[in-house]
Amino acid sequence: MAEKPKILCVCDAEGADLEIPESLHESFDLVTVRSPVRALAKLNSTEYSGIFIASRHLSEAMRYGRMLQNEQILEGMPDGVALLDGENAIIWANQQLRTWSEQEDLVGKNFYAAMKHPEILGPDFCPFHTALATHRCSNSTLRDGDNRYYQIHAAPVLDMDKPSHYLIVTVSDVTSEMLQRQKLEAIHRAGIELADLTPDEVFDMAVEDRIELVKSNILHYTKDLLNFDVIEIRLLEQKSGILAPLLSVGMVDDATCRLLRADPQSNGVTGFVAATGKSYLCEDTGEDPLYLPGLRDAKSSLTVPLMWHEQVIGTFNVESPEIGAFSESDLQFLEIFARDIAVSLNTLELLVAQKANTAQESVEAIHSAVALPIDEILNEAVNVMEMYIGHEPEVVGRLKNILRNARDLKQVIQKVGQRMAPTKAVPSSVKIDERPKLKGRRVLVVDADDEVRNNAHALLERYGCIVETAHVGNEATFMVRNSGNEHCYDVIIADIRLPDMNGHELLLKLKATMNPVPLILMSGFGYDPGHSIVKARREGLQSKAILYKPFRLDQLLETVEAVLDTFGTVPQVTTD
């Protein structure tokens, strides 16, 4: 007996829907499903001669029919697409998702099991449950055992005001983006560690040993993190223009000893990069007239400048025996790492100055030990003054004397240190740049972290600033209100997340006391959950008055100078 052709029936239950004509039972093999969404799975796996849809399911079926009409589009998408039920079981999946799961038949299988039980990285750790419960889309990131990353987007299938029981899930492979982000973060950490010496190491190691340690760190991270085996770093002697070798691995001796200058003509790729400050990707050494032999049988090279304060201080060159071995991503990674190398080499220069200038070290150590305790006296005094203002004039007067004497004491220590410091002991190549805009400027730093407040003294006072600190926002407003125009602050630097208020709230409080408010806000890694920076900008915060921790010294100095340039004159304090 010949097998009957199959008809797919969408009705409430098998044999229970009276709308199915009797003739269908006689002539066809009926396969019944309870909803149009279940019909999609059947149609994907089995051939049917026709579809019967009960009247109560007709409008729903028309919507899913449109999806079915576009099935070929979904099949060809580069992203994975799946239709899930409320139990996370797959009802339908396109070819890309089947390819990633390495399974041809996914119908009825749990989505996470089909994707090899990946780790859910968030931000939503139950994206499917969230989408069904809230009737809103949800997103998350998955990582499988092969270290591949997938971005998933779950959208509920809405049916008027009825509860949703199905999800459309799209899956994107974001492995390359995630790995690139991880590599960038690793490069950033490596850059910080290049010249990260503990106080004991600095004390015990000779300058030459410190240089060797930094070189060793550069070599280690270049090989293990960037996977470059042939390396050459040269430092530019600014007066002569000669590029002196600092580090060379894998290069032939003739190349290492070759005299090169910062000149775009006849000095190879390295001389061109040093002269122009532009990176250079040589994809085929045999076809590039600029290239001078370095690695034996080299076929490609990548060279980037070492930049410090927008000035070329050297070059970083890597080479390979393969043609086109370096990509644009390699160029980006090397440029980022080169900036950190420039910072570490500058730090190394400062360490040389530190060794030569022992008297300066002693004075700065004394001042560092005194600065924060005197700030504590200032903080306590203004806090007490706030209690007595308007009630005990005599007490307020005495407290003002304490403030004045504490500030004078700190200034005396700083001036004595400046006279004691033997400037001739500092090598000319590492003398601190003059910053005339900062000299004598009063700066208030507001941060709950003792280390941040201590570093503010160490860094800014080196350039002649007069620094005072506060722990919290209210303390800062007391300091400003009781400074008077004689000791009014030229710049106020504050963390956006203080224990008692955010940066926006601090700005509003300061505006009631001083005009204008020369405020700079600091944020850790751009983290600003309350959008206080955006709100503060609406209240007049300058566009350049933002520092993202961890920031470099030059960024701090340039930001302070930019705020000083913007406001020009010393702000005025109003006292009521």
Q: How many helices (H) and strands (E) does the chain have?
A: 20, 21
Cα gap 25→40, rounded to integer Å? 22
What are the angstrom distances between the C-alpha of 69 and each of 43, 92, 93, 157, 348? 12, 14, 15, 17, 67
Q: Which one has a higher pLDDT value, 378 or 576?
A: 378
What pLDDT shows up at residue 199? 47
pLDDT at position 361 over 50: yes
pLDDT at position 444 over 90: yes
- In the chain, the amino acid numbered 470 is A
Residue 363 phi, psi (nearest 5)? -65, -45
Confidence of residue 79 (pLDDT cuts 50, 70, 90): confident
Residue 472 phi, psi (nearest 5)? -135, 175
Q: How many CB atoms sit inside 10 A of residue 528's CB? A: 21
Q: Is 503 exposed, middle or buried (CB count within 10 Å of its CB: 0-12, 13-18, 19+)?
A: buried
pLDDT at position 357 over 50: no
List for the chain the helix, strand, coil content (%; round to 5).
45, 20, 30
pLDDT at position 468 over 50: yes
- In the chain, the amino acid numbered 96 is Q
User: How open is the CA angle 461-466-471, to the nearest 5 degrees?
Assistant: 95
Cα gap 464→564, rounded to integer Å? 14
If you ran DSSP here, which 8-state letter would residue 347 be given?
H
Tokens (6 digits) for 60: 């729903």
pLDDT at position 358 over 50: no
What pLDDT shows up at residue 263? 93
Crossing angle between the packed helical segments 358-388 and 450-460, to the nearest 10 degrees: 120
Tokens (6 digits) for 427: 């090598």
The residues with which 243 forms a beta bridge, in sequence order, are: 236
Q: Is 131 exposed, middle or buried (CB count within 10 Å of its CB: 0-12, 13-18, 19+)?
A: buried
What pLDDT shows up at residue 236? 87
How large a percentage of the chain has pLDDT more than 90? 19
Cα gap 168→156, rounded to integer Å? 6
Find the range with the poorest average confidence among 228-237, 300-309, 364-373. 364-373
Q: In this predicted model, what pLDDT tens digit does every residue of 237-291 receive, in sequence order?
A: 888 899 988 888 888 888 888 899 999 998 999 999 999 999 999 999 999 999 9
Torsion region of 388: left, alpha or beta (phi above 0 gives left; psi -120 to 50 gives alpha): alpha
Using DSSP's 3-state secondary structure scheme, residue 469 falls into strand
Confidence of residue 364 (pLDDT cuts 50, 70, 90): low
Q: Is 15 exposed, middle or buried (CB count within 10 Å of its CB: 0-12, 13-18, 19+)?
A: exposed
Crossing angle between the packed helical segments 393-420 and 358-388, to the nearest 10 degrees: 170
Mean pLDDT of the chain: 77
